[in-house]
Structure 1
């Protein structure tokens, strides 16, 4: 498999992957479907249903030939050691509290993506899904906005099986080892109708719904069942949104 310069060039990803890859492989046997671009920037948008799934996604992306960089809560960058790891891996901090700050950070991240050709992983739901059956819930506009601002492909992805390792807000389950999980990467979305409309809230909402439909369709193939006709909306169900990974 060919790999991108961001993976083949020496970096902190090398020693960390030497630890993470065999550890995750011991816990889960992940089947990978689809491909990522060998070169160039992109935004990868997977579903989010378990505290453990970032590790599954990160290792899958690494094995697909790209370096796994996430958008992460800015507060995590202040945590000792964790913050250092995030910084040396060039993860992207996101502020939740201020819309103006968040917009500036998105623009800065987009400029960095376009200039460096790196990929970034963004959870469009912003946190763990609140859907009782773990289907993707209503998405936030961050992933779409970032892809449009940077002018890079927006790629939907889905995974299934992480809930057997760590149920949402549940306890880690190590035994039996090598639980099966699946990770699939879809085709880049056609966002041509939204180019130049990065500040149009209606356009961003429409494009985000398109993205969530694509992620849900991928997950339906993994689960071999249909998702509910109405997507879970935490604002309608009076749910408080929390989590480490933001849109």
Structure 2
């Protein structure tokens, strides 16, 4: 492995020219990326990238990224950056864009707002980005996988890639969940956490969306298994029971089935909280009317 732009890449990865437009973007390409690199350096997060040669140096492509933690939006863009300082426009839920400061930053970086109540519009926005030659990142599991296994995938990734006629590339992040994820204590210190990021070969997104999604699932699962195996060989053996490691490797994370139950319980709590908030507003409104 050799260092390139501050990250470890394979010796065989050829050097390529900087992207003529993306590498010159001031806000995202210089200010934000510089800030990310500074944070990574301060925490001494040791990032190794594999398969970056699968990323096109120009033109559009869609990354299907596994979701294990809250740093995935940062880590998922690094492989493209070492390919000529390319930038990834991530698909993120609309609620993030609705927040005053963060939403503005997201729009400046040209990320894609996902309104789950109007999925067709979000898919069209992503397709337009791809048609314009951008790289787009999507998390087909939709939410963080507490089990750190690949959950059931939504069909949006294959449908977007097929309609835009761009490569659909599986991208696996492993180790990022050790920094920050659900249900585990955060580690923002200088703890020298290693992270592996692997980019796979294109997956055929054509044909029946369910069948294409199954191909994507198998490709992501295989790449995840390979990446975790390499990680364990380089940094293990581990003691066992670590909350950031899956049950299948002897870790203490919940199984897929247990994680699904936790997700359902979390969803019910959020719904109950929203319902209570609506009820409170309704009660306040009625009281104001009667006071008049």
Asked if Structure 1 and Structure 2 have the same fold, meaning a TM-score greater than 0.5 normalized by the shorter chain, the answer is: yes
Residue 136 of structure 2 aligns with which residue? 120
Residue 109 of structure 1 aligns with which residue? 126
1:112-151 equivalences under 5 Å are: 112-114=129-131, 116-131=132-147, 134-151=148-165
Structure 2, unaligned runs of 5 or more = 1-14, 233-245, 249-254, 268-292
Contact 2:159 2:205 in 1 (8 A): no
1:66 and 1:138, CA in 2 relative to 1: closer, same or farther beyond 3 A? same
Query: Is 2:196 the partner of 1:182?
Result: yes
Structure 1, unaligned runs of 5 or more = 195-202, 243-247
The count of corresponding residues between Structure 1 and Structure 2 is: 225
Q: Following TM superposition, where does structure 1 have runs of at least 4 consecutive aligned residues deviating by more than 6 angstroms? A: 225-228, 233-236
Report the CA distance between 1:236 and its aligned residue.
7.2
Contact 2:204 2:215 in 1 (8 A): no
1:150-229 equivalences under 5 Å are: 150-192=164-206, 194=207, 203-224=208-229
Per-residue deviation, residues 126-167 of structure 1 (Å, max 9, x unmatched): 010143xx1111011111111112111100011211122224
Alpha-carbon RMSD across the aligned residues, in angstroms, is 2.5
Per-residue deviation, residues 3-58 of structure 1 (Å, max 9, x unmatched): 32342233311111111112123321100011211000010011111112222222
| TM-score, reference length from structure 2 | 0.70
Q: Secondary structure at the match of 1:218?
A: helix
1:25 and 1:57, CA in 2 relative to 1: closer, same or farther beyond 3 A? farther
Report the CA distance between 1:237 and its aligned residue.
4.6
Residue 68 of structure 1 aligns with which residue? 88
Per-residue deviation, residues 76-107 of structure 1 (Å, max 9, x unmatched): 111111011110111001111x2xx2113212
Contact 1:43 1:152 in 2 (8 A): yes
Distance in 2 separating the partners of 1:8 and 1:176? 29
Contact 1:158 1:185 in 2 (8 A): yes
Bigger helix share: 2
Q: Higher relative contact order by CA 8 Å / sep ≥ 6: 1 or 2?
A: 1
- Higher-Rg member (1/2): 2
Distance in 1 separating the partners of 2:192 and 2:172? 19
| TM-score, reference length from structure 1 | 0.82
Query: Is 2:56 the partner of 1:46?
Result: no
